[in-house]
Every structure is written in structure tokens, then in C-alpha cells.
Structure 1
Amino acid sequence: MDTLNFDGSCDPNPGGIMGFGWIINWSNGKKPTEGSKEKKPSKSNTNNVAEYTALKEGIKNYLKLGGKGPLQVRGDSKLVISQMSGKWKVKNENLAEIKNETSEIIKKHNLNVKFTWVPREQNSIADRLALPKSRRNNMPKSDSKTESKSNSVKPENRKFVADVNSSSVSSKLRLQINELNTSPSPGFKSFAQLKVGGFDSFSRKKLETLQKEAGPKASSIAKKEFPNNSSQQASALRWMLRGLSTDLAVKKVKVDIELSKKRKK
């Protein structure tokens, strides 16, 4: 059976640039086919719209390349997979329109499709392709292959310096941090999209102050991960104090470092 993995992103969400990515693995042994597109910022752009559009574009590409099915479609969006398989109702008009268009394409070509949800770590290639091109070019190619290992701490075993629900962060940032903290293996794009959106109460605090507030254990972790770089240590501690778990705070800083290096080239 041929397989199609898809993913979509909107940066920032909502209203930002949407990226769509997919990869087709052929049952006849042919080399896998990767595809990606993006759309300029718009008020109607959201992560869910991006996910649905990635699915639609992936199926269209599969048919264009001569795919006949049966086709197993895999994605890490429970919303899209559950709605396409008929388990959940579609209440949003924008999503309903894309869903109906996708269903019509499937029906028109008499395509036998099975929808399966997969965790993000099993969708890493599509996850990377879903990033807008400017961000994807700044992402290390090896990252999508190693990110599940680097984020192997189970949510229930994560360590925290501060409770995000009591932290002085914006409601939007609180939601993003909660999503990361409860995800078994957050993808690269999730860290790339995690932004304060200006300055908050932690932004201007110096390393010494951050170390006192975060405590010796957290300070030791930051120092071990980013030796001889006080700026990176401070950044990790800021994210810990905002409510991000210690392991994810370290990953966030490492992602920012990689993006910064690529932008300077």
C-alpha cells in the first residue's frame, strides 16, 4: 500500500505564512516523493487550515504522479484525521470547505484511502517540509531525524522550575508552552514558532538574577548545556521560568542557535 504523510504550519498562528508538506512512499519500491508549498500571510490562515491544505495538496500530487491507491494517509493532526475518517464533525466553515474539496477529489478518482493518526515523531519529514521555505532552509537536515531522540523525556517525567499557569506570560504564550510540555515529542517547527512576541518580565533580567530565581539545579543544567555562553544560559533559564520544562527549554535554545547560524550564512 502506498503511504502519504502530510503536515501543515502557520507562523505566526493565526494570520501568518502557511507551509504545507507531504511525502509519498511508493509500494512498488520507487524513490519517495517529497513536496511542499506555502501561502502568504492572511487573516484566514491557521494551523488547522494549513494541515487540511497539506492533505489536499498531497493527495492531488499523489494522483498527478499516477497514484491509483490503495493509499494510507498518515498525519499527526487528530482533528484532520478524525474528521476525514468521519469520527468527528466539522464545525468550522473554512475547514469544512477544504474537507469537502478533498473528499470530492478522492470520490472523483475512486481512490481507496485509509486515514491513520501518527505521533509527531513518526511524521518528522512532513513536519520539516511544512515549515515555510525561509525557515526550512535554516533548519539542519539532520534535525528531523534526531529530534525524537533529543525530546525523549516523557511528559509525566519532565522537570519544571515554574508553573506556566502561574507564570507572568501572555495567554497565547501560555497556550504554546502548555502544548509543548504535554507533547511526547515536539517537532522543530513548534520550537521555531515559540516566541515571546516582544518583551516580558523575564526578558531584561540578567543571568545572576535568573540563576537565583531558577535555583541551583536549573542553573547547573543551563551551564552544562551551554558552557562559556552566559547569553544562552540566560535564555534557557528564562524559558524555564516562563514554565517550559527544563529539557524543552534547552531544546528551544538549541533550535534558536541553529536558526541564528543559518541566517548569518
Structure 2
Amino acid sequence: MGLGWVVTLQNNSFSILGNDRLEKQTSNNALFAEYLALKKGMLEYVKADGQGPLTVMGDSQTVIYQMRGIYPIMDDEIWHIHRDITNIIREYELDIHFRWVPRMQNKQADRLSKTKHKVRIEYPNDREFLIDVRNSPAIGKLRKKIAVMNATPFPTTAMYKRLHVSSKDVLSDKDLFELREMAGKRATNMVIETFPGKRDKNKYYQAQALRWMLRGLAVDLAIKKVKFDIRNKKNGNQNNSTKKPEAVKTKNKGSQSQKKARNLCRGAKYYLNRQTFAF
């Protein structure tokens, strides 16, 4: 049985996504899985230095109401994991509120629980680096931006968007072969696996990811940066293609016969149309 959780921090700026499988067989697998997802999500929240207040939304009415003390707990295994969660709340002095939501409003967590592969979460202390940003070719504002992203558990979309090289550096003119030599086999294999293929665009993506790694950006963030740029470019192209063409105003001068008729009528003392006759 699968379980999934989503923890959103800082006014929806970024989210912690997680999922797992319930290996242990219990008397109430479904309820235990809901509690386990709650516990794991709260531990991820604490690990990410969440400051609160925290609102926990779940589609299991039983779990939410038991955490709020409305429903009693009759199962020993549920009681133990309920106690673990309560201890986390007390230990970290969390300002927390539990709210039930329908499953239709909890689609992301529900989808994660059904995902076969495990979502990997990278924290700053767990990240891999090819080079310390202080010793990298990145200088000035670019170095500061890279350092901030490396220290941020879940960089925002705005961070990825603002991260760009304002002018060429020593890595800009390096070809893919040179970048592979500088980055090493492990990093090279990672970018090949992420952007497979021998077409020019695939090689370009591989080179870009290696350049960001060699500028001091964490390995996982360098790959995410290139993926972000790819999505951003596609969205930009789609927006341009859906723009309505500007209307071109043209003056209809009419046919030659109409011109002659208008010229003949100039200075006439009366006019004729379908509705009225006047003179």
C-alpha cells in the first residue's frame, strides 16, 4: 500500500513532496498508512526548518478527527503512531491545526501515494558538489545567487528564473568533450541519463548542466535548472504561437464602377436608398 504527502512552505513558494510504501502489515492498513504519511510529512517539515503555523489537511476524516481529539482511538498500533506524532508536536513546539478536506482537493498527495517510484528529496546537507562555489568561475551576483540556492532546501521558480550568466565566462566556450573531462565520469553519466540522446539539443542540455555544476551549483540543482529552462522556453513558444495576429486596417476603396457612381452623384440635390427618398 502506498502513502504520499505534500508539505507547502512560505506562502506556496515551494513544496516538499514525498511518498513511501507500507511494508508492515497491520490490523488496519489503510488507517495506519494515513498516519504514517502524516508522521513522515511532519518529520520532513521539521527537517526543512518549517517555522509554522502549520495547517495539516488530510482526506481521512478519522485521522484528522482523532488528531483533534474528537474521535476515540481503539487500536493499539494506531495509538502508538498517534503518540509518536503528538511527541513530535510537543518536542518542536509546533503551532498546528488539523483540517479535513475531500479527496478531490487532495489530488497531489493521492497521486504520490499511487506513484511506484520513490520521490527523492535533496536537502542542503545531502547535496553533491563538483566544486565549491567560492573556487568556481562564478563571480559577483551570480556567485551569491548560486550560494543562496545551494543553501535553500527547495529553491523557488523565481530563483531558477533569475539564475543566468550575464556575460560569458571561461565555461561558456567549452565544448561538451572538455566539460566532461572537467566534470568527471559520475557527473557526465548523470547528465547523459537525464538528457539522453545524441542530437544537438540533447548535447546542448548536457553541456549546460555540466557548466552549472562547474560554476558551483549543486548537482541536483544544476539538472533542475536546465529542466526549468527547457520548460520555460516551451511555455514561451506556446504563448507566442497562441497570440492573435494584429488586425490590419485596410480602406475599402471599392470597385472602379462604384468610384464612377460616387463621382457622378457629387453635387446632386437628392439621394436614394432602400428606405427613404428625399429631395
Give the TM-score normalised by the residue count of structure 1. Answer: 0.44
Structure of greater Rg: 2
